[in-house]
Amino acid sequence: MSEAVVTLKKGEGRSLKSGGLWVYDNEIDTIMGTFQNGDIVIVHDFDGYMMGRGFINQNSRLRVRMMTRDKEQQIDEAFLRRRVQAAWDYRKDTVDTASCRVVFGEADFLPGIVIDKYEDVLVVESLALGMDRFKETIVKLLQEILLADGIRIRGVYERSDAKERDKEGLPRVKGFIGEAFDTDLEIVENGVHYLVDVANGQKTGFFLDQKYNRLAMQRICKGKRVLDCFTHMGTFALNAGIAGAREVTGLDISEYAIEQARRNAKLNHLEDTVHFRCANVLDELPKLTAEGEQYDVVILDPPAFTKSREATKNAVKGYREINMKGMKLVKDGGYLATCSCSHFMTQELFAKTVKEAAKATHKRLRQVEFRTQAPDHPILWAADESYYLKFYIFQVVGER
């Protein structure tokens, strides 16, 4: 069957031409030929120049996700094997692969699919209709590729339950791909042991993207009094504890997360040093300030305050407020780690917002370092959506 042809309007496709993988509905002039949503189509520029192949979905404003720029390349199993092998080879070169993100969607040229490896378990998140058709083949290929390196995967779990699926006209699904297994796992990262619930935890069960940012905090937290805000499963708090922090407090609004964090503290024999409390961070920080509390290190790792460009203005207010509250709790000469995991909160905008928070609280910031997401979440230049995590470490000093 011949492929349908999508032709762009004149002057459109600027992101695509600069290396991106997305074609939006308002960039398309015509679609010629028959197809079903999820099919591979050919994409032409306005003048008929062939730009490659991708899968189409008319349910989504993100109408075509490109799979290849090679005019001759067919999207078959051999093609998928090369893509998956390249993704795994890159991880072996750049990160500790015991637990890591093996496939990161567009940044690995496999748009719409994420696969995390937790020791000997894979967790799959499919967010696009076209990729949904390939996901089981990709999983099979990844298992074969890992086995060739002596890694036998004992189970695969699907966490395609994000609301992004709604935009694709897809139902939200979760469950086993293949045989059932115990979805409570133990992983080790930076010397810290964690119990991870891949069936019920956030996203795919654990936030692997902060791995090396947590490691960077170990050096700073030794012997210190530490406050970890939005602690989730206790990740930054436990890295502080294992590094030899004198006292650590972790705060999170979720009772489930706090229970998980306490389990993880016991697992690492840190329950006497690292403590967790269920609290709304935005309400709790002013209370701590009123009580005269001061910390050597304050860590702010909030959830994304915006997931759309339209909500960015309100997000700026939220980030400014949380950073003001956090800075007030850092003793003179202490340290603040602060981050944003929203793609729409750009590095420039986030830096400006933190600077405004410092000015409002009469603090001066000395930058220790700036970091982004771990290399297993690669940032593909020209695919702006792949760059989302901004992480600063500052020394906080009073106005002198």
Q: Which residues are catalytic?
A: 341
Q: Are strands 121-126 and 99-104 parallel, antiparallel or unpaired?
A: unpaired
Residue 164 CB-half CA count within 13 A: 14
With H, G, I as helix, E, B as strand and everything else as coil, classify residue 272: coil
Contact at 8 Å (CB) between 187 and 175?
no
Handedness of CA 94, 97, 101, 107 (dihedral sign): positive
Secondary-structure breakdown of the chain: helix, strand, coil percentages, each rounded to the nearest 5: 35, 30, 35
Contact at 8 Å (CB) between 4 and 13?
no
Contact at 8 Å (CB) between 205 and 164?
no
Q: Which of 397, 391, 395 is CA-nearest to residue 370? A: 391
Q: Are strands 173-176 and 155-160 parallel, antiparallel or unpaired?
A: antiparallel
Handedness of CA 345, 346, 348, 354 (dihedral sign): positive
Detail the DSSP E strand segments found in 9-126: 22-24, 28-32, 40-44, 50-56, 62-68, 99-104, 113-118, 121-126
Cα(386)–Cα(400) distance, rounded to whole angstroms?
40
Q: Which residue has the tokens 């986030």?
A: 350
Angle, nearest 10°, between helix axes 312-327 and 281-290? 30
